[in-house]
Amino acid sequence: MTRHFTLALTCAALAVGGMAQAGGHEGNPAVKARKAHMQLYAFSLGTLGGMAKGAVEYDAAAAKAAADNLASLAALNQMAYWAPGTSMDDLGDQTEALPAIWQEGSKAAAIGGQLAEAAAALAAVAGDGQSALGPALGPVGQACGACHKAYRKPKS
Ligand code: HEC
């Protein structure tokens, strides 16, 4: 009796462990990488946006660090994780990336270039005082928004 019970518990533990492992391996690695990249954008932009609005106290070093990070991220070569065959049409709800990213005439890479330029301009002034942030953040936010509007699944 005790032995059966122990066996049953062991089996249950193995089953749960197996599920956790399957979960850890699930998902397309390119999709995970680009979502992580986007989360890093959002984190830095959140810091800077908060300071621009006055919700977070302006700190020149922190603002400069966040803007430098944003500019560095935007300058990374991201081609490997925007791999063809990883759109919503290919992977379903694992991703919000529209197939248009990979289609003829796609402006996704060009918008990425605009973001890199805007983020570099922001990094150049982010340490100069709170009032410099707002105007320099505008073009950054526009680049994020333009790409999402064209190439990310609309929120339902
Ligand atoms: C070149 C196009 C492009 C640019 C520029 C861009 N994004 Fe994205 N973003 C996308 C796409 C496409 C997705 C959906 C990715 C997926 O689900 O595979 C996305 C998803 C996201 C997500 C959700 C990530 C997740 O975990 O699901 C966040 C947050 C985000 N973007 C923030 C930003 C911010 C902030 C900026 C600007 C600093 C930005 N993005 C610039 C195309 C872009």
Annotated domain spans of the chain:
30-151
Question: Residue 156: what pLDDT?
Answer: 76
| Distance from the alpha carbon of residue 2 to the mean position of ligand 1, in angstroms | 54
Question: Residue 4: what pLDDT?
Answer: 62
Q: Which residues contact 137 (CB under 8 A, 6 or more apart)?
A: 45, 48, 49, 52, 122
Angle at 121 between CA 33 and CA 65, to 5 degrees: 60
Residues with CB under 6 A from ligand 1: 31, 34-35, 38-39, 41-42, 45, 95-97, 108, 111-112, 115, 140, 143-144, 147-148, 151-152
- pTM given for the model: 0.87
**CATH class held by domain 30-151:** mainly alpha
Measuring CA to CA, which residue among 89, 80, 100, 98 is closest to residue 32? 80
How far is the C-alpha of 99 from the C-alpha of 34, rounded, in Å? 15
Name the token pair of 102: 């990979």
Low-confidence ranges of the chain (pLDDT < 70): 1-25
Question: Residue 125: what pLDDT?
Answer: 98
Measuring CA to CA, which residue among 56, 73, 55, 54 is closest to residue 123? 73
